[in-house]
């Protein structure tokens, strides 16, 4: 039986702050989720949601107060688990007087990769990440985008099965973002499992199979991205042909739930399914002598779902 690349159960973490660390802050409050093999999984949330703290616990940089983290069925702290992970932190630090080639050689040595294989992988990765031209340039001369590409190279030099990327698109220009998105997709095609956090929701929506949305240390939404956008109450648009209608023509109970505007040969109505019943509105329009021309349902985007869950937490805090 194949084990999940990542399984988290009831994970908690708190930190002491203030004078003598007497005040406790709890950035992660008992979260549970799993990442399936071969998928691209997005860990989302506003600043302070608990994303980076969670990733640090997964990679063993800090320890949880409670809960379990399993990687391929074993403790995340076991040597066998760590060998199967590649990690790019949000703000990686580099030995700035090393060249990119020297940096990757050092990283490969940490994983006990044979020297000949390190050279081969280094050349391949530098080419793949678009920085082969700067292979022998000291990294202190790299731009932010070039450093990010070098960081991505070190995250996969050990040919890991499970790749964890914290804000991998940070500091990249549009071309760089496109290249890295394609790299993530290509890694999936090679059978890798990728967990990454990002605040660039359009990029997540482009590549992710599943997501978890964190806020204030709690999971607000999780699941397949396609399921979340399909099941979330979306916007419905109805276009009719017939005499122009005004808001006053509708029953009073519907007036606060719909928006209407005049269009060529008819009327356009817009409403959300959580605020109004589509079938009830259609029946009313037909009874009013309107011909139904078009009915659209616009599923909510990931940004819509994200903002909804962020605003809910702010309201609860207030």
pLDDT band per the 50, 70, 90 thresholds, residue 317 = very low
pLDDT at 70: 97
Asked whether residue 265 falls in the same domain as residue 225, the answer is: no
Residue 316, Cβ neighbours under 10 Å: how many? 10
Residue 32 lies in a domain: yes
> What is the rounded average pLDDT of the residues 128-153?
94
Residue 264 lies in a domain: yes
Residue 314 lies in a domain: no
Provide the H-helix boundaries in 129-224.
144-156, 174-189, 201-207
Asked whether residue 126 falls in the same domain as residue 249, the answer is: no
pLDDT of 18 strictly over 90: no
Residue 316 lies in a domain: no
Give the largest CA-CA distance in the chain: 79
Tell me the whole-structure pTM to 2 decimals: 0.79
Report residue 122: phi and psi, to 5°.
-60, -50
pLDDT at 121: 96
Domain span at 265:
233-298
Contact present, 160 and 85 (Cβ < 8 Å): yes
Residue 318 lies in a domain: no
Asked whether residue 37 falls in the same domain as residue 155, the answer is: yes
Nearest 10 degrees: Cα torsion 113, 116, 118, 121 = -120
Asked whether residue 215 falls in the same domain as residue 259, the answer is: no
Total of domains in the chain: 2
Asked whether residue 55 falls in the same domain as residue 183, the answer is: yes
Q: Last residue of a domain, which of 213, 230, 247?
A: 230
What is the rounded distance in angstroms from the CA atom of residue 180 to the CA atom of residue 191? 17
Instruction: State pLDDT tens for residues 237-252.
Output: 899 998 889 999 999 8
CATH number at residue 247: 3.30.70
Instruction: State pLDDT tens for residues 41-85.
Output: 999 988 888 999 999 999 999 999 999 999 999 999 999 999 999
pLDDT at 315: 47
Asked whether residue 183 falls in the same domain as residue 153, the answer is: yes
Instruction: State pLDDT tens for residues 176-231.
Output: 888 889 999 999 999 999 999 988 888 888 899 999 999 999 999 999 988 887 75
Compute the mean pLDDT over every residue in the chain, rounded to the nearest whole number. 89
> What is the rounded average pLDDT of the residues 128-143?
95
CATH number at residue 224: 3.40.50.300
Q: Which residues contact 207 (CB under 8 A, 6 or more apart)?
A: 40, 181, 184, 185
Burial of 317 (0-12, 13-18, 19+ CB in 10 A): exposed
Asked whether residue 14 falls in the same domain as residue 138, the answer is: yes
What is the rounded distance in angstroms from the CA atom of residue 59 to the CA atom of residue 75? 11
Q: Last residue of a domain, which of 201, 230, 259?
A: 230
pLDDT of 90 strictly over 90: no
Asked whether residue 146 falls in the same domain as residue 238, the answer is: no
Residue 12 lies in a domain: yes
Residue 307 lies in a domain: no
Asked whether residue 37 falls in the same domain as residue 167, the answer is: yes
pLDDT at 233: 60
Q: Cα–chain-centroid distance for residue 282?
A: 37
Helix (H) / strand (E) element for 286: namely helix 278-287
Q: Which two tokens stand for residue 46?
A: 């506003």
Asked whether residue 108 falls in the same domain as residue 208, the answer is: yes
pLDDT at 32: 97
């Amino acid at each position: 039986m194949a084990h999940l690349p990542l399984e988290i159960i009831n994970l908690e973490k708190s930190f002491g702050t203030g004078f003598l660390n007497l005040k406790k802050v709890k950035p992660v409050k008992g979260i549970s989720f799993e990442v399936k093999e071969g998928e691209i999984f997005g860990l989302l949330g506003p600043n302070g949601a608990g994303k980076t703290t969670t990733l640090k616990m997964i990679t063993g940089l800090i320890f949880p107060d409670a809960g379990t983290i399993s990687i391929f069925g074993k403790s995340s702290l076991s040597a066998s688990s760590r060998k199967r992970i590649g990690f790019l932190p949000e703000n990686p630090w580099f030995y700035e007087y090393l060249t990119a080639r020297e940096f990757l050689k050092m990283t490969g040595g940490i994983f006990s990769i044979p020297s000949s294989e390190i050279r081969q992988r280094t050349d391949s990765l530098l080419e793949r990440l678009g920085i082969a031209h700067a292979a022998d340039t000291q990294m202190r001369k790299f731009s932010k985008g070039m450093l990010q590409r070098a960081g991505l190279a070190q995250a996969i030099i050990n040919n890991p099965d499970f790749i964890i990327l914290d804000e991998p698109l940070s500091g990249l220009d549009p071309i760089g973002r496109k290249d890295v998105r394609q790299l993530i997709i290509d890694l999936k095609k090679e059978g890798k499992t990728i967990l990454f956090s990002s605040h660039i929701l359009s990029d997540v929506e482009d590549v992710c199979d599943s997501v978890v949305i964190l806020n204030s240390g709690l999971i607000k939404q999780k699941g397949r991205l396609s399921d979340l956008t399909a099941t979330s109450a979306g916007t419905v648009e109805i276009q009719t042909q017939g005499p122009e209608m005004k808001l006053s023509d509708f029953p009073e109970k519907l007036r606060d739930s719909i928006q209407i505007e005049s269009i060529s040969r008819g009327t356009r109505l817009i409403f959300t399914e959580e605020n109004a019943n589509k079938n009830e509105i259609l029946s009313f329009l037909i009874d009013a002598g309107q011909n139904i021309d078009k009915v659209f349902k616009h599923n909510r985007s990931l940004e819509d779902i994200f903002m909804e869950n962020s605003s809910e937490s702010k309201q609860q805090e207030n």
